[in-house]
C-alpha cells in the first residue's frame, strides 16, 4: 500500500490520543470527518438561533423586536452560516471524509495534510463571521447574495469581514474538492472499477467537479467586490461606470452550482441508506450515475434563472428557462429509482428510513415549485418573495437537512460503536416533519399574495400565516431536543452496536465500530457489489410477488 497514512507522517506520541485527538491537527480522515460534523452542528445551532430571531420579529407586522439594521445583519448571518458553515461542510466535508476512503478501499484521503488544513480553515472563518456582529457598524447587511451597490454602501467593515470569511470557507471547500477527486480517481483499491463504487462516491465526484469549477469564480468576484469597498475601484459601482448586473452573473455562476453542491451529496447518502434498510439492491445503478453527471453539466448552465427580473435580455430569459426545466429530468430519474428501490423491499421503519422518506416527499415538493420558478412568466411574479424562501427551504432543509439526520441515525453506530435510541429518533422525525411543513408551507401563499422576502415589516393581513409559520419554527427548534439528548446519552449508555448492526455490505461496515486508525486490520476488502441485497427472484414469497409484478407486467 503506497497510500499516505497518518502514521507515515506523525511519529507515535506527537499526536494526542483519545478524545483529545478531536481537537488536534489530526490527519486521520475519520477524525477529520467527525470534526467537520460536530463543528457543523455547532454552527447549525447558531444559525438556528438566528432563524429564531427572524421568526420572532415576523410574528408581528411591524418592526418591533430588533432594529431594522440588526434584522438585516441577522438574515445575512443566518443565510451565510447555514450554507457555508453547516450544509456544505457537513454533507461534503463530514460524510465525504468519513466515508469516501472506505468506499474506495483506501486507508486515508489522498492528501491528508491538505485535508486537515481544509477543516481547520472553518473554525476561524466561522468565528470571524460571527464576531463581525460586534465590530463598529455591525455585520454585513446585504444578504448572503451581497448584491452591489447595496453591499458597497452598507457598513464596510462588516462586509469586508464577510467577504474574508466566505473566501476562507470557499478555499476550504476547494481543498476538499481536489482531495475528493484525487481520492476517488486515484486511490481506488486495485480491482475496484469505477462502476462498482457506492453511489455516494459518484455524488461526491460530481459535487467536487462543481466545487472546483465554480468556487474560484465566487472567490474572484468577492475579491473584486472587496476592491470596490476598500480601494474604491468601480467594477460593480454604477457611479464609477461599473455594472451591477455583471456581479449577479458571476455570483450565480457559483451559487446555482452551490445549490447542487448542497444537494448532490445528500442524493448520494440517501442512495446508501435506502437499499440497506429496504433490504434490496439500489434500483438502476447505471442511470443513477448518468443522471448525476447530467445534473453536473446542466447545473453549470442555468444560473440566470435567479435573474429573470434583473438586467437580462429576452433571449437569455428563454434559454435559462429551458435549461433549468430540463434539470428536472435527471432529478426525476433519481427519485423514481429510489421509489423502485423501496418497492417490494422489507422496509425497516426506523429513524434513518423515516428521515429518508421525509426527504423524498419534501424534495419532490421543492422540485415542483422549482420547475414552476424556472418559467419566466411565473417567476416574474414570485421572484424575491416568500415563495422563493419556501422553495429553497423545502430543498435545503426538507431535502438536505433531513438527509443529514437520516445519515446520523444510520452511521452513528459506526462512529461510536453504540446504537441511537429509536423511540427518541422517531419522535425527532415526527416533530421535525410537522414543524418543518407548518413553518414553510404557508410561505408559498404569502409569496403569491404579496409578501416580499427579507423584510422586517409587512402588510398586517399576513399576520396570521406568519404566526403559524413561527409556531412551526418553534416546533423545529423543540425537535432538536430529543435528538441532542439521544446523541449525548447514547454515546455513553446506548445499546452496543457491534460491527455491522444493519447487516450492510458497503466496506465501512466490514471493520470494527469504531474503525481502527487505518480502517481495516489487514487488507482492505474488495467490494464489487455494494448493493447485493435481496433474495434471488426464484425464491419470492407470494406477498412480495404481487408488488414486483407491477414492475415487470407479470412477465417474470
Partner 1 sequence: MAIPSTLITLLLGMVLVLVGLWVGQNVQLLPLDASTNAPVYDSLFQVLFSIGTILFIGIVGLVVFSLIRFRRRPGDLSDGVAIEGNLPLEIVWTAIPAIVVLFVGIYSYDIYERMGGMVSLNDHSAMHHSAAVMQASTSSAPTSSGSGNVANEPRVWAGIGSSDSAEGTLPVEVTAMQFAFIFHYPDGDITSGELHVPVNQPVELRMKANDVIHAFWVPQFRLKQDVIPGQPTVLSFTATRAGSYPIICAELCGPYHGGMRSTVVVHEEEAFHQWFEKNAPPKPVPATVASVDLNPTA
Please give the residues from 209 up to 238 whose contact with partner 1 meets the rule CB under 8 A. Answer: 238
DSSP string, 13-27: TTS--GGGGGGS---
The answer to whether residues 352 and 409 touch, using CB atoms and an 8 Å cutoff, is yes
Scanning residues 360 to 419, which ones bind ligand HEM (CB under 6 A)? 367, 370-371, 373-374, 379, 383, 388, 391-392, 395-396
**Torsional class of 522: left (φ above 0), alpha (ψ -120 to 50), beta (otherwise):** left
Out of 25, 65, 378, 489, which residue is the one contacting partner 1 (CB under 8 A)? 378
Residue 333 carries which DSSP code? H
Out of 25, 65, 133, 147, which residue is the one contacting partner 1 (CB under 8 A)? 147
Angle between helices 156-186 and 68-80 (to 10 degrees): 10
Rounded to a whole number of angstroms, the minimum distance from the CB of residue 392 to ligand HEM is: 3
The partner in contact with residue 392, picked from partner 1, Cu ion, ligand HEM, none with C-beta cut-offs of 5 to 8 angstroms by kind, is ligand HEM
Rounded to a whole number of angstroms, the minimum distance from the CB of residue 445 to ligand HEM is: 16
Residue 149 carries which DSSP code? T
Q: Is 53 in a helix, a strand, or coil?
A: helix
The partner in contact with residue 547, picked from Cu ion, ligand HEM, partner 1, none with C-beta cut-offs of 5 to 8 angstroms by kind, is partner 1
Write down how long the chain is.
Answer: 556
78 binds ligand HEM (CB under 6 A): no
Q: Between 252 and 415, whose beta carbon lies closer to ligand HEM? A: 252
Out of 66, 212, 316, 328, which residue is the one contacting ligand HEM (CB under 6 A)? 328
Judged by CB under 6 A, the stretch of 149-157, 326-334, 349-357, 542-550 that binds ligand HEM is: 326-334
The partner in contact with residue 319, picked from ligand HEM, partner 1, Cu ion, none with C-beta cut-offs of 5 to 8 angstroms by kind, is none
Rounded to a whole number of angstroms, the minimum distance from the CB of residue 280 to partner 1 is: 4
Residue 318's CB: how many other CB atoms inside 10 A?
Answer: 12
Q: Between 182 and 364, whose beta carbon lies closer to partner 1? A: 364
Q: Between 436 and 502, whose beta carbon lies closer to ligand HEM? A: 436
Site string for Cu ion, 245-284 (x = CB under 5 A): -----------x----------------------------
Q: Between 36 and 144, whose beta carbon lies closer to partner 1? A: 144
The answer to whether residues 288 and 337 touch, using CB atoms and an 8 Å cutoff, is yes
The partner in contact with residue 464, picked from ligand HEM, partner 1, Cu ion, none with C-beta cut-offs of 5 to 8 angstroms by kind, is none
Q: Between 181 and 263, whose beta carbon lies closer to Cu ion? A: 263
State how far the Cα of 469 lies from the Cα of 415, in Å rounded to an integer: 35
Closest CA to 495 of 428, 429, 424: 424
Scanning residues 21 to 80, which ones bind partner 1 (CB under 8 A)? 63, 67-69, 71-72
Grid coordinates standing for 74? 441577522
The partner in contact with residue 378, picked from Cu ion, ligand HEM, partner 1, none with C-beta cut-offs of 5 to 8 angstroms by kind, is partner 1
Rounded to a whole number of angstroms, the minimum distance from the CB of residue 537 to partner 1 is: 6
Estimate to the nearest angstrom the gap between the alpha carbon of 443 and the chain centroid: 22
136 binds partner 1 (CB under 8 A): no
301 binds partner 1 (CB under 8 A): no
Site string for ligand HEM, 289-318 (x = CB under 6 A): ----------------xx------------
Number of residues that bind partner 1 (CB under 8 A): 110
Q: Please give the C-alpha separations between residue 33 and each of 27, 72, 176, 542, in angstroms, as whole numbers.
A: 10, 33, 11, 44
Q: Is 496 in a helix, a strand, or coil?
A: strand
Site string for partner 1, 320-359 (x = CB under 8 A): -xx--xx-xx--xx-xxx-xx-xxxxxxxx---x---x--
Angle CA 441–444–446, to nearest 5:
110
176-190: burial string, b at 16+ Cβ within 10 Å, e else: bbbbbbebbeebbbe
455 binds ligand HEM (CB under 6 A): no
Q: Considering Cα of 51, then 52, then 54, then 58, what sign does the dihedral take?
A: positive
Rounded to a whole number of angstroms, the minimum distance from the CB of residue 456 to partner 1 is: 5
Rounded to a whole number of angstroms, the minimum distance from the CB of residue 487 to partner 1 is: 25
Scanning residues 451 to 510, which ones bind partner 1 (CB under 8 A)? 452-459
The partner in contact with residue 500, picked from ligand HEM, Cu ion, partner 1, none with C-beta cut-offs of 5 to 8 angstroms by kind, is none
Phi/psi of residue 496, each to 5°?
Answer: -65, 140
Question: 139-145: which pairs have CB atoms within 8 A and are 24 or more residues apart?
Answer: 139/73, 139/76, 139/77, 140/73, 140/76, 140/77, 140/80, 141/69, 141/72, 141/73, 141/76, 142/72, 142/76, 143/72, 143/75, 143/76, 143/79, 143/454, 144/76, 144/79, 144/80, 144/83, 145/251, 145/255
152 binds ligand HEM (CB under 6 A): no
Out of 80, 132, 154, 466, which residue is the one contacting partner 1 (CB under 8 A)? 154
Judged by CB under 8 A, the stretch of 90-98, 156-164, 192-200, 530-538 that binds partner 1 is: 530-538
Out of 191, 377, 522, 542, which residue is the one contacting partner 1 (CB under 8 A)? 377
Burial class (CB in 10 A: 0-12, 13-18, 19+), 246: middle
State how far the Cα of 500 lies from the Cα of 494, in Å rounded to an integer: 15
Q: Between 97 and 400, whose beta carbon lies closer to Cu ion? A: 400
Phi/psi of residue 385, each to 5°?
Answer: -120, 180
Rounded to a whole number of angstroms, the minimum distance from the CB of residue 291 to ligand HEM is: 12
Rounded to a whole number of angstroms, the minimum distance from the CB of residue 203 to partner 1 is: 18
Judged by CB under 8 A, the stretch of 92-100, 102-110, 284-292, 430-438 that binds partner 1 is: 284-292
321 binds ligand HEM (CB under 6 A): no
Residue 99's CB: how many other CB atoms inside 10 A?
Answer: 27
Dihedral angle computed from the Cα positions of residues 490, 492, 493 and 495, in that order, rounded to the nearest 10 degrees: 60
Scanning residues 212 to 271, which ones bind ligand HEM (CB under 6 A)? 259, 262-263
Amino acid at each position: 500500500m503506497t497510500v499516505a497514512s497518518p502514521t507515515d507522517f506523525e511519529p507515535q506520541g506527537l499526536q494526542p490520543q483519545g478524545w483529545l485527538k478531536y481537537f488536534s491537527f489530526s490527519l486521520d480522515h475519520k477524525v477529520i470527518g467527525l470534526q467537520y460534523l460536530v463543528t457543523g452542528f455547532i454552527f447549525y445551532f447558531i444559525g438556528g438561533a438566528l432563524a429564531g430571531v427572524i421568526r420572532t420579529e415576523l410574528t408581528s407586522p411591524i418592526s418591533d423586536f430588533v432594529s431594522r439594521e440588526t434584522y438585516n445583519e441577522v438574515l445575512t448571518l443566518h443565510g451565510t452560516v447555514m450554507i457555508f458553515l453547516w450544509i456544505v461542510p457537513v454533507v461534503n466535508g463530514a460524510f465525504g471524509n468519513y466515508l469516501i476512503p472506505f468506499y474506495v478501499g483506501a486507508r486515508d484521503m489522498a492528501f491528508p495534510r491538505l485535508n486537515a488544513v481544509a477543516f481547520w480553515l472553518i473554525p476561524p472563518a466561522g468565528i470571524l463571521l460571527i464576531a463581525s456582529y460586534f465590530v463598529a457598524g455591525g455585520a454585513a447587511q446585504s444578504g448572503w447574495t451581497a448584491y452591489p451597490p447595496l453591499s458597497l454602501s452598507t457598513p464596510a467593515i462588516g462586509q469586508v469581514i464577510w467577504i474574508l470569511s466566505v473566501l476562507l470557507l470557499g478555499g476550504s471547500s476547494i481543498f476538499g474538492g481536489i482531495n475528493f477527486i484525487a481520492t476517488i480517481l486515484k486511490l481506488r483499491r486495485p480491482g475496484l472499477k469505477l462502476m462498482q463504487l457506492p453511489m455516494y462516491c459518484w455524488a461526491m465526484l460530481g459535487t467536487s467537479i462543481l466545487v472546483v469549477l465554480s468556487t474560484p469564480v465566487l472567490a474572484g468576484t468577492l475579491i473584486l467586490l472587496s476592491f470596490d469597498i476598500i480601494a474604491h475601484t468601480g467594477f460593480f459601482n454604477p457611479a464609477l461606470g461599473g455594472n451591477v448586473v455583471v456581479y449577479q452573473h458571476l455570483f450565480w455562476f457559483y451559487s446555482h452550482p452551490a445549490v447542487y453542491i448542497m444537494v448532490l451529496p445528500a442524493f448520494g447518502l440517501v442512495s446508501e441508506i435506502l437499499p440497506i434498510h429496504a433490504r434490496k439492491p439500489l434500483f438502476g445503478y447505471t442511470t443513477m450515475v448518468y443522471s448525476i453527471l447530467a445534473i453536473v453539466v446542466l447545473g453549470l448552465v442555468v444560473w440566470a434563472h435567479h435573474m429573470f427580473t434583473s438586467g437580462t435580455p429576452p433571449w437569455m430569459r428563454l434559454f435559462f428557462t429551458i435549461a433549468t426545466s430540463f434539470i428536472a429530468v435527471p432529478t426525476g430519474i433519481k427519485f423514481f429509482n429510489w421509489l423502485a428501490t423501496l418497492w417490494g423491499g422489507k422496509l425497516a421503519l426506523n429513524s434513518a428510513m423515516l428521515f429518508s422518506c421525509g426527504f423524498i416527499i419534501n424534495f419532490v415538493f421543492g422540485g415542483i415549485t422549482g420547475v414552476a420558478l424556472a418559467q419566466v412568466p411565473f417567476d416574474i411574479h414570485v421572484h424575491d418573495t416568500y415563495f422563493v424562501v419556501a422553495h429553497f427551504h423545502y430543498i435545503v432543509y426538507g431535502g438536505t437537512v433531513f438527509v443529514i439526520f437520516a445519515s446520523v441515525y444510520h452511521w452513528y453506530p459506526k462512529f461510536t460503536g453504540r446504537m441511537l435510541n429509536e423511540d427518541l429518533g422517531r419522535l425527532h422525525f415526527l416533530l421535525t416533519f410537522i414543524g418543518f411543513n407548518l413553518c414553510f408551507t404557508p410561505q408559498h401563499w404569502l409569496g403569491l399574495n404579496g409578501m416580499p422576502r427579507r423584510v422586517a415589516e409587512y402588510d398586517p393581513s399576513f399576520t396570521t400565516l406568519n404566526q403559524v409559520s413561527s409556531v412551526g419554527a418553534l416546533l423545529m427548534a423543540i425537535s432538536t431536543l430529543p435528538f441532542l439528548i439521544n446523541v449525548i446519552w447514547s454515546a455513553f449508555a446506548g445499546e452496543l452496536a457491534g460491527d455491522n448492526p444493519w447487516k450492510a455490505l458497503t466496506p465501512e461496515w466490514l471493520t470494527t465500530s469504531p474503525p481502527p486508525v487505518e480502517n481495516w486490520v489487514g487488507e482492505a476488502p474488495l467490494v464489487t457489489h455494494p448493493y447485493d441485497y435481496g433474495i434471488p427472484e426464484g425464491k419470492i414469497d407470494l406477498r412480495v410477488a404481487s408488488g414486483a409484478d407491477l414492475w415487470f407486467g407479470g412477465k417474470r
